């Protein structure tokens, strides 16, 4: 499948995940049992999921959208809402061990927790037999998301019929309007239900982001006004890890900076760092993204962005 080449990369910290190709053994296990729940789509709906693509983050989004017939701006907006386009994002903290294992995934940590959702589109591992690919490969993550969207559009998600939708919306099995079906499949990705109140709220956020396309304002490319000095790309880190930068505050676009882990902002104080990341706190061993954004004093939007990935080993 051909996708036009594009060097625009607002998330350079995704580099490792953007080139990761899933091994044959993990793919075979996934294809044999792609779902960890009943009354979902048949396994046949996921047989073309392979994550066999690499490129910039946006190229991978476009590839997955094209492969499965999904509007690329809807997929961009969903990745924005779910992870801020962060390949290594984790979410849905659980403290019940019975909610921390399914299929190939045993997520329970000795500290008494697990994360249930992984990657750029926040694949839920209690629902999908996708460990560790959903976290390690951007292409696999988005390929799976696209396949589930197509299964939904094809009418294959049986459990969406179990509960009635909000007033004024058709049941999943009787829906014959493609626009209503498309947005229902988007909302159900978040809520797990067909046009319930949570899905409707999610759809409203999504429609706003599709219209506004906030990712278009993200900076791309390096700037001498912002440099990340430590840690360095692909470094192995543990314990409390200092994050230091060089920020040229004589540049009006670099008044202050904020640091993020896995594209989830931590803090903007002090304005020029250094900061300290405690990798022992709710942080899985494995690859994580460290990034910094520089802002002008009005703070309307980031002007410069720098990011790397590191390996946490505690």
Confidence (pTM): 0.96
Tell me, what's the pLDDT at 1?
58
Domains located in the chain, CATH noted? 12-215 (no CATH), 226-312 (2.60.40.10)
What are the 10-residue block averages of pLDDT along the chain, 314 residues in total? 82 97 95 93 97 97 97 98 97 96 94 97 97 97 98 95 92 90 96 96 97 95 95 97 97 96 96 97 96 94 96 96
Q: What is the pLDDT of residue 5?
A: 81
The rounded distance, in Å, linking the Cα atoms of 141 and 105 is 15
- How does pLDDT run across 16-38, given as a tens digit for each residue? 999 999 999 999 999 999 999 98
Quick one: three-class SS letters along the chain?
Answer: CCCCCCCCCCCHHHHHHHHCCCCHHHHHHHHHCCECCCCCCCHHHHCCCCCCCCCCHHHHHHHHHHHHCCCHHHHHHHHHHHHCCCCCCEEEEECCHHHCEECCEECCECCCEEEEEECCCCEECCCECCCCHHHHCHHHHHHHHHHHHHHHHCCCCHHHHCCCCCCCCCCHHHCCCHHHHHHHHHHHHHHCCCCCHHHHHHHHHHHHHHHHCHHHHCCCCCECCEEEEECCCCCEECCEEEEEEEECCCCCCCCEEEEEECCEEEECCCCCCCEEEECCCCCCCEEEEEEEEEECCCCCCEEEEEEEEEEECC
């Amino acid at each position: 499948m051909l996708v036009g080449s594009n060097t625009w990369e607002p998330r350079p910290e995704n580099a490792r995940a953007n080139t990761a190709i899933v091994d044959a053994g993990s793919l075979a296990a996934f294809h044999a049992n792609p779902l960890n729940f009943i009354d979902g789509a048949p396994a046949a709906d996921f047989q073309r999921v392979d994550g066999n693509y690499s490129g910039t983050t946006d190229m991978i989004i476009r590839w997955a959208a094209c492969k499965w017939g999904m509007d690329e701006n809807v997929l961009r907006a969903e990745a924005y809402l779910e992870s801020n386009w962060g390949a290594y994002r984790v979410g849905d903290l659980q403290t019940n061990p019975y909610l921390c294992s399914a299929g190939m995934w045993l997520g329970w940590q000795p500290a008494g927790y697990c994360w249930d959702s992984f990657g750029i589109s926040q694949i839920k591992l209690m629902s999908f037999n996708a460990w560790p690919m959903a976290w390690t490969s951007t292409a696999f993550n988005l390929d799976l998301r696209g396949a589930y969207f197509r299964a939904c559009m094809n009418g294959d998600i049986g459990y969406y019929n179990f509960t009635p939708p909000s007033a004024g919306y058709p049941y999943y099995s009787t829906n014959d309007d493609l626009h209503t079906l498309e947005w229902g499949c988007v909302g159900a990705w978040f809520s797990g239900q067909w046009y319930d109140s949570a899905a409707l709220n999610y759809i409203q956020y999504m429609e706003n982001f599709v219209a506004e396309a906030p990712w278009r304002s993200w900076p791309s490319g390096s700037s001498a006004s912002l440099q990340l000095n430590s840690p360095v790309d692909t470094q192995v880190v543990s314990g409390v890890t200092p994050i230091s930068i060089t920020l040229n505050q004589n540049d009006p676009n670099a008044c202050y900076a904020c640091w993020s882990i896995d594209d989830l902002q931590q803090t903007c104080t002090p304005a020029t760092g250094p900061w300290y990341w405690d990798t022992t706190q709710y942080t899985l061993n494995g690859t994580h993204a460290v990034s910094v954004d520089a802002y002008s004093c009005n703070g309307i939007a980031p002007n410069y962005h720098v990011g790397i990935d590191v390996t946490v080993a505690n």
